[in-house]
Amino acid sequence: MRLSQLKVGSKGIVKEFTDLEMSIKLMEMGCLPGEEVKVERIAPMGDPIAINVAGYQLSLRMREASTIILL
């Protein structure tokens, strides 16, 4: 399951990333393997999304969310 497939309000735990470059940026922002993520909301036009991770809110595009694989 990928983060982009998660519904609003549901949670998951980060397992791994499919894109190395994106993974570095995400990890620097505290979005690491083992962290719990929760989809807070989706932008009015369906993209980007806002997730809660490591105690704060992070927004990312669907394309970027699809590089995050959940447990």
**Contacting residues toward another protein, per CB under 8 A:** 20-30, 32, 40-41, 43-48, 50, 54-61, 64
- Three-state SS for the chain is CEHHHCCCCCEEEEEEECCHHHHHHHHHCCCCCCCEEEEEEECCCCCCEEEEECCEEEEECHHHHCCEEEC
In whole angstroms, how close is the CB of 1 to another protein at the nearest point? 20
* Of residues 5 and 59, the one with the C-beta less far from another protein: 59
In whole angstroms, the minimum distance from the beta carbon of 57 to another protein comes to 4
CB of 15 or CB of 25, closer to another protein:
25
Q: Which is nearer to another protein, 2 or 48 (CB)?
A: 48
Is residue 68 within 8 Å of residue 3, measured between CB atoms?
Answer: yes
